Amino acid sequence: MTDQIPLEVTLARELVALRTELAALKDRETHVRLALLHQISAHVDQHDIPVGDTVVRIERKAVRRFDAKRLPPDIRDNPRFVRCQTMTDVRLLDTSGPSDTTDFDVTNLLDVALRGT
């Protein structure tokens, strides 16, 4: 008898792997973006760099942003101006313990999970 890993565990493992890859890519993007910005004059409002069929545009502009923290406390803390909503979040929690790093194949698992079969 073989022990079959539950589908939810397999999908959760894939999510962990994807989020790890995304975090590494975001970190790499940050470093490349900062290095690129370092090469461009701070006094230039727009700079285009053609790369094949794409143009990397560096653009500096002033934008207006609403800052709720700057509202007077009697408005900011008034429950009449607050609405509640339900959110569903999928988070990864580091348990810092030994982990099962068994390789798994997730081919078509998302389709299976969504179909419920």
User: CA 100, CA 115: separation in Å to the nearest integer?
Assistant: 27
How far is it, in rounded angstroms, from Cα 29 to Cα 16?
A: 20
pTM of the predicted model, to two decimals?
A: 0.61
Angstrom distance (rounded) from CA 107 to CA 11: 10
What are 8-59's pLDDT values in tens digits? Answer: 999 999 999 999 999 999 999 999 999 888 888 777 888 899 999 899 999 8
Calpha distance 47→53 (Å, rounded):
16
Confidence category of residue 1, pLDDT binned at 50, 70, 90 = low
Q: Has residue 91 got a pLDDT over 60?
A: yes
Tabulate helix, strand, coil % of the chain (nearest 5): 45, 10, 45
List of E strands, 1-117: 46-51, 54-59
